[in-house]
Amino acid sequence: MSFTTITCPSCGSAVKQYRNPFPTVDIIIEMDRGVVLIERKNEPFGWALPGGFVDYGESLESAAVREAREETSLEISNLRLLGCYSDPARDSRMHTISTVYIASGLGIPSAADDALNLGIFRLDSLPERLCFDHARILADYAAKYSTHHSGLLP
């Protein structure tokens, strides 16, 4: 376990402060025969799946719905789990563990919150600069669902 020791301001005792990974969600939003990606406003710059940090007291599913709405202005339905990604190097800023969902997008997509821009991309024409481990996640998605989602491929 990774921890540091801090001093309690009330009693002066040594207290362990644990370092834990941060939980996040990412959402593969299927829409118009493609997947929705956002161009990030903040570092690391590039294109990414919509997603973000899970708030305290929030379920993973609720976080996915909230993040999709905040970044893409879309409501999502048919939420289903793709998998979890936990490589400590997946995010250069800190150790995160992402639960990745697949969903259908409803509404008119529009970049908002942390998104500078938004696009709908077919799997055979993804942007070259994908952030984090999102190229791997999309490759796993394509491999798992290539026959079911053939409209996303040529």
CATH 3.90.79.10 is right for the domain spanning 21-147? yes
Question: Tokens 């793709």, residue?
Answer: 82
Phi then psi for residue 139, to 5 deg, are -65, -40
The confidence score (pLDDT) of residue 4 equals 81
Per-residue pLDDT of the chain (154 residues), as tens digits, is 677 888 888 888 888 888 899 999 999 999 998 999 999 999 999 999 999 999 999 999 999 999 999 999 999 999 999 999 999 999 999 999 999 999 999 999 999 888 899 999 999 999 999 999 999 999 999 998 765 555 555 4
Structure tokens at 98: 């992402």
Q: How far apart are the first and last CA of the chain?
A: 47
Domain ranges in the chain are 21-147
User: For the CA atoms of the chain, what is the radius of gyration?
Assistant: 18
Query: pTM, whole model, 2 decimals?
Result: 0.87
Which residue type occupies 55? D
List of E strands, 41-130: 47-48, 51-53, 75-85, 96-106, 115-121
